[in-house]
Amino acid sequence: MKSLALRRHPVKIYSVSTSNKLITDYKFELIEDHHHPGSGRYAVRITSSDDISVSFPYLNTVLDDTLFDRDSNILIGVHDHRRYAFRPHEIQGGMVTEPSEASTIADEVVELVNRVWREHERITPSFKERKLPTVYDIYKLLPGTNCRNCGYSTCLACAADIRNGVIPLERCPLLSKPEYKQNKERIRTLFSSN
């Protein structure tokens, strides 16, 4: 039985081996929201010595709401209502509320990558890119009040996680106010125009 002893940062690392897959060996860890230790918000980080970047164009086709930045070698997309960030040797799944979900989430996203790779000859790859805006470009359009209503101590920290796909733009409640409506749309444009 797997157990998690929660600490401030990475909690516990598990190693899993598979065979005949794109991801043949991986580890995952449950990491606590570094902006608010003790908040009960976590992410799952999966690491592997296997380079999965060859699967990015196929995942770009299969996933929803993707951002594909080939220069930065990152793909962000949604699968089963969960946002993931894919890098050559790492996958991060955002916001896990229950630590016991970590193992299941890690297994599911690894299986997703392996399934897409097994079926890649039947999938039309998408090289369509949507580059990520800079953290600063997003930050400039946030209210800048550091109100903490989003769960972050600063608007800059919130902007970083919006950029990296960890949280949705709607996490900033002030952007829903009429005086910030134009800024919210401009941030959306940053993501869609690249």
Q: Over the stretch 31-69, which tens digit does the pLDDT of each residue have?
A: 876 655 666 677 889 999 999 999 999 999 999 988 898
Q: pTM, whole model, 2 decimals?
A: 0.68
Q: Do domains 13-122 and 135-192 have the same CATH topology?
A: no
CA distances, 144 to each of 4, 108, 152, 158, 160 (Å): 36, 37, 12, 10, 13
Fold classified for 135-192: 3-methyladenine DNA Glycosylase II; Chain A, domain 3 (1.10.15)
Q: Which of 7, 43, 14, 42 is nearest to 28 (CA)?
A: 14
Q: What is the pLDDT of residues 93-135, one digit of tens each?
A: 877 777 788 899 999 999 999 999 999 999 999 999 877 789 9
Q: Delimit the domains of the chain by residue range.
A: 13-122, 135-192
Q: What is the DSSP letter of 180?
A: G
Fold classified for 13-122: TATA-Binding Protein (3.30.310)
